[in-house]
Amino acid sequence: MDGGRGTGDEGRGEERDAPLRGITILAFEQAVAGPYATRQLADLGARVIKIERPGVGDFARGYDRTVHGIASYFVWANRGKESLTLDLKHPEGRAVVEALLERADVVVQNLAPGAMERLGWGGGA
């Protein structure tokens, strides 16, 4: 596991009128739809914690190499978020996710259909 891949605080919604300040969102997301949706929430002041896969992270990181070796789209779609790399199949990674789920107000995911259920974190979990 590896933490600390910040994606920047630009546009985070730190202004005094940030309507989602105090809301924590745990995001299991890749590519376009999920990251764009949670970027909007981060812009409104929510704390968004993006969970990424070890070794590769969000595959959108590799769309191009425009911004310090990272895709410009990735930087734009993930601004204002925290990023945490976790192996969701490893007991230690699962324990971290369980602790985050306990504190999260919202979970957003755009993984393959059934992926969250297979991991034990589906809608009924």
Question: pLDDT tens, 41-92?
Answer: 999 999 999 999 999 899 898 898 888 888 999 999 999 999 999 999 999 9
Question: Once rounded to an integer, what is the mean pLDDT over residues 12-27?
Answer: 83
More confident residue, 95 or 6: 95
Task: State the pTM of this model.
Answer: 0.83
**Which CATH architecture does the domain made up of 2-118 adopt?**
3-Layer(aba) Sandwich (3.40)
More confident residue, 25 or 1: 25
Q: How is the chain split into domains, by residue range?
A: 2-118
The dihedral formed by the CA atoms of 59, 46, 108 and 121, expressed in degrees to the nearest 10: 110
Angle (nearest 5°) at CA 50 between 108 and 100: 75
User: What totals of helices (H) and strands (E) does the chain contain, helices first?
Assistant: 4, 5
